[in-house]
């Protein structure tokens, strides 16, 4: 499935204005394979879901690098004392976002995204809250084109991103979508060490190719 996704993006291969960004953690192994196929640099774009207190799997919104926050108004209306609750979650997740920024890049600077074609990859879409925050943040960064690419997502969420991104590739759009994990043979947890190792390997390969 990941190789098929890379083939759908082959028009972006070997271009010096393209960068592939994976959403940690699960999107990074997918993004790594795509970047390798396209001969493009790989980095992360860190987004944190704002889970509803007590129902953390339910996204009230998300934050992204650059101080962007996107809220799901339907969910917010259903939460008692929503503003206060989500402010507390936002504070906690902002600290975690900063920690990951530092840990994953291992001293490397965040990439310049202005005027670049950004291929934004996750292992799949569900509600789309984290991807939506990432797209909004990339708009603010001045990216020339934003391509959202995922192996799987529900039809309605994929259609929403066709409006929000410049190009959207949802490889599979099952009508009875339940969770991203059901479409992978191996959906084991990606660790921080896995993310760091993939980014380091990709950076070394790009550096080696340029020598």
User: pLDDT band at residue 211, thresholds of 50, 70 and 90?
Assistant: very low
State how many domains the chain has.
Answer: 1
What pTM did the predictor assign? 0.85
Q: For residues 50 and 12, give the distance between their C-alpha atoms in angstroms, rounded to a whole number.
A: 33
Q: Quick check: is 99 in a domain?
A: no
Q: Quick check: is 206 in a domain?
A: yes
Q: Quick check: is 61 in a domain?
A: no
> How do 145-152 and 167-172 pair as beta strands?
parallel
Q: What is the DSSP string of the chain?
A: -HHHHHHHTGGGTT-TTEEEEEPTTTHHHHHHHHHHHHT--EEE--EEEEEETTEEEEEEEEEETTTEEEE-HHHHHHSTTHHHHHHHHHHHHHHHHHHHHHHHHTTPPPPP-TT-EEEEE-S--SS-HHHHHHHHHHHHHT-SEEEEEEEE--HHHHHHHHHHSSEEEEEE--TT---GGGG-S--PPPPHHHHHHHHHHHHHHHHHHH-
Q: For residues 18 and 15, give the distance between their C-alpha atoms in angstroms, rounded to a whole number.
A: 6
Token pair belonging to 208:
């080696």
Which position has the higher pLDDT, 51 or 66?
51
- Per-residue model confidence (pLDDT) at position 6: 93
Could you tell me which residues are beta bridge partners of residue 47?
Answer: 64
CATH number of the domain within which 178 lies: 3.40.50.2020
Q: Quick check: is 167 in a domain?
A: yes
User: pLDDT band at residue 121, thresholds of 50, 70 and 90?
Assistant: very high
Q: Quick check: is 165 in a domain?
A: yes
Q: Quick check: is 24 in a domain?
A: yes
Q: Quick check: is 190 in a domain?
A: yes
The pLDDT tens digits for 58-110 are: 778 888 887 888 888 877 887 778 788 889 999 999 999 989 888 888 778 88
Domain range for 139 is: 2-47+108-210
Could you tell me which residues are beta bridge partners of residue 55?
Answer: 52
The pLDDT tens digits for 145-157 are: 999 999 999 999 9
Q: Quick check: is 185 in a domain?
A: yes
């Amino acid at each position: 499935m990941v190789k098929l996704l890379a083939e759908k993006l082959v028009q972006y291969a070997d271009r010096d204005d393209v960068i592939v960004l994976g959403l940690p953690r699960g999107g990074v192994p997918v993004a790594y394979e795509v970047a390798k196929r396209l001969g493009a640099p790989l980095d992360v774009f860190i987004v944190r879901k704002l889970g509803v207190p007590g129902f953390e799997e339910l996204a009230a919104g998300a934050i992204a690098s650059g101080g962007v926050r996107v809220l799901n108004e339907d969910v917010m209306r259903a939460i008692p004392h929503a503003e206060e609750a989500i402010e507390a979650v936002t504070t906690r997740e902002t600290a975690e976002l900063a920690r990951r920024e530092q840990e994953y890049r291992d001293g490397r600077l965040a990439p310049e995204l202005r005027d670049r074609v950004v291929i934004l990859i996750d292992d799949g879409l569900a509600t789309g809250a984290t991807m939506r925050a990432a797209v909004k943040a990339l708009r603010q960064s001045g990216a020339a084109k934003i391509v959202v690419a995922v192996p799987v997502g529900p039809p309605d969420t994929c259609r929403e991103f066709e409006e929000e991104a410049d190009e959207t590739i949802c490889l599979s759009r099952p009508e009875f979508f339940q969770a991203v994990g059901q479409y992978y043979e191996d959906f084991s947890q990606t660790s921080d060490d896995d993310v760091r190792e993939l980014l380091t390997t990709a950076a070394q390969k790009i550096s080696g190719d340029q020598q």
